[in-house]
C-alpha cells in the first residue's frame, strides 16, 4: 500500500512539473530585429487612413504580420488606419523565439497601443490566435485607464486543455508536459504543411519548428488572461471556426460567458473540410470574405453607438443600411452562449472581388 501511495505522489509531482515546469528568472526582452534580419514577407506594415480611427492588429503564435494583412487592407478600404506589428521573437529565427516569453509580447503590444492611442480619436485592438489573447490581456491591464474602443479576436485561445464549459477538453496534448519538454526538446520540429495549403491559406512564419519555451510561457499565462476577462467592459467581437484543429471552439464560448462587455458578439461557423487547420481564417480563401463582412458589421455598429458619422461606410465592400446593434437588440440581458446556438453551415461563399 505504501508503494502505491509513493507512486501516486511521484506521478503527481511529475504531472505538476510537466504543467508548471521549473521556476525561471525573468528574461530581458529580445532585441528589435533589423530589416535585414526579418524573413521576406514578415515585415510590419502600416496603412494610414483619414477617419481618425485606428486598428492595432496582432498576428499569432509562430506567425507574422503577413497573416493578418488582408484584414488590414480591408479595414483600410473603409477609410481607417490599420497597423500590423511584428511580435518579438517572430519573423526572424526560431532561436529568437526561444528567448521570448509571453510577458514580452504583452508588454510590446501594450507599448505600441499606448503610443498609437494618443494619435487617433479611437483605437481598436484586433488579434488573430495568440494575438487575440494578447489583446485581451492588454485590454484587461488598461481597463481602468486607457480602454480601447473595441476588441476583435479571431481563433483565439484562453486555454488548451482542462475542464471548461462543463466538459473535459484535450485539444493540445503536448502542452500538458511542456514544462518537461522545454528542457528535453526546446525546439520541436514540425511536419511540412500539406501540399496545396499555401494557395488555400497562405501563411508566413516558423512553419517547420516551434519553440517549446515560448509555448510553455504562453500556456502558463492563460490563467491570468482568463482572470482578466471580468475587467473588460468594452465592445467585444469573437470569430472562430467550429472545426478549428488548432484552437478548441470551446474557447469562444468561455470568453463570451466571462467577459463583462455590455456588447459582445460571437460568430462561429463550419468550414468545409480541407487540408488546412481551419485556423488561419484571415487568409483562408473560403473564410476571409465571411469574416471580413462580420467584422465590418461590428465596427460599423460600434462606431454608431459611439456617435460616429457614417461617412466612411460607403467605402466598405459589404456596406449596407443595417441598424445599430442595440437598436436591433431592444435591450435585455445577454444569454449564456452555447455552441449549437450560433453555428452557421458552409453555405455559398460571397466573393470580394479580390
Q: What is the tens place of the pLDDT at every residue in 36-62?
A: 999 999 999 999 999 999 999 999 999
Q: What is the tens place of the pLDDT at every residue in 82-123?
A: 999 999 999 999 999 999 999 999 999 999 999 999 999 999
Q: Within a domain: residue 351?
A: no
Note the pLDDT of residue 179.
Answer: 86
Other Cβ atoms closer than 10 A to 197: 17
Q: Within a domain: residue 284?
A: yes
Cell numbers at 2, concatenated: 505504501
**What is the pTM (predicted TM-score) of this model?**
0.85
Q: Within a domain: residue 29?
A: no
Q: Are 44 and 72 in contact (CB under 8 A)?
A: no
Average pLDDT over residues 219-233: 97
If residue 189 lies in a helix (H) or strand (E), which one and from where to where? strand 187-189
Range of the domain at 278: 43-316+338-344
Note the pLDDT of residue 339.
Answer: 53
CATH of the domain at 108: 3.40.50.1820
Q: Within a domain: residue 1?
A: no
Note the pLDDT of residue 90.
Answer: 97
Give the whole-angstrom CA distance, residue 313 versus residue 166.
Answer: 41
Q: Within a domain: residue 59?
A: yes
Q: Specify the number of domains making up the chain.
A: 1
What is the total residue count of the chain? 354
Q: Within a domain: residue 350?
A: no
* pLDDT for residue 27 is more than 90: yes
Phi then psi for residue 214, to 5 deg, are: -70, -40
Give the whole-angstrom CA distance, residue 17 versus residue 10.
Answer: 11
Amino acid at each position: 500500500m505504501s508503494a502505491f501511495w509513493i507512486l501516486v505522489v511521484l506521478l503527481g509531482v511529475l504531472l505538476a512539473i510537466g504543467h508548471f515546469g521549473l521556476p525561471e528568472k525573468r528574461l530581458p526582452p529580445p532585441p528589435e530585429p533589423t530589416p535585414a534580419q526579418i524573413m521576406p514577407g514578415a515585415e510590419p506594415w502600416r496603412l494610414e487612413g483619414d477617419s481618425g480611427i485606428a486598428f492595432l492588429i496582432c498576428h499569432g503564435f509562430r506567425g507574422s504580420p503577413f497573416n493578418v494583412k488582408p484584414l488590414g487592407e480591408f479595414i483600410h478600404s473603409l477609410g481607417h488606419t490599420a497597423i500590423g506589428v511584428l511580435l518579438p521573437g517572430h519573423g526572424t529565427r526560431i532561436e529568437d523565439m526561444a528567448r521570448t516569453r509571453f510577458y514580452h509580447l504583452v508588454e510590446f503590444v501594450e507599448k505600441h497601443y499606448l503610443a498609437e492611442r494618443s494619435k487617433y480619436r479611437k483605437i481598436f485592438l484586433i488579434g488573430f490566435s495568440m494575438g487575440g489573447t494578447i489583446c485581451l490581456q492588454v485590454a484587461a491591464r488598461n481597463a481602468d485607464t486607457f480602454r480601447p474602443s473595441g476588441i476583435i479576436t479571431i481563433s483565439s485561445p484562453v486555454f488548451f486543455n482542462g475542464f471548461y464549459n462543463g466538459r473535459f477538453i484535450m485539444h493540445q496534448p503536448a502542452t500538458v508536459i511542456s514544462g518537461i519538454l522545454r528542457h528535453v526538446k526546446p525546439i520541436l520540429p514540425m511536419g511540412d504543411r500539406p501540399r496545396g495549403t499555401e494557395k488555400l491559406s497562405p501563411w508566413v512564419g516558423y512553419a517547420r519548428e516551434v519553440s517549446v519555451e515560448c509555448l510553455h510561457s504562453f500556456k502558463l499565462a492563460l490563467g491570468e488572461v482568463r482572470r482578466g476577462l471580468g475587467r473588460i467592459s468594452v465592445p467585444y467581437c469573437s470569430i472562430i471556426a467550429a472545426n478549428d484543429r488548432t484552437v478548441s471552439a470551446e474557447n469562444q464560448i468561455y470568453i463570451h460567458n466571462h467577459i463583462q462587455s455590455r456588447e459582445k458578439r460571437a460568430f462561429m461557423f463550419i468550414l468545409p473540410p480541407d487540408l488546412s487547420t481551419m485556423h488561419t481564417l484571415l487568409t483562408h480563401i473560403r473564410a476571409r470574405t465571411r469574416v471580413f463582412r462580420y467584422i465590418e458589421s461590428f465596427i460599423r455598429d460600434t462606431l454608431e453607438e459611439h456617435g460616429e458619422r457614417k461617412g466612411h461606410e460607403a467605402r466598405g465592400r459589404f456596406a449596407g443600411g443595417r441598424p445599430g446593434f442595440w437598436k436591433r437588440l431592444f435591450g435585455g440581458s445577454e444569454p449564456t452562449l452555447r455552441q449549437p446556438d450560433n453555428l452557421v453551415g458552409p453555405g455559398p461563399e460571397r466573393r470580394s472581388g479580390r
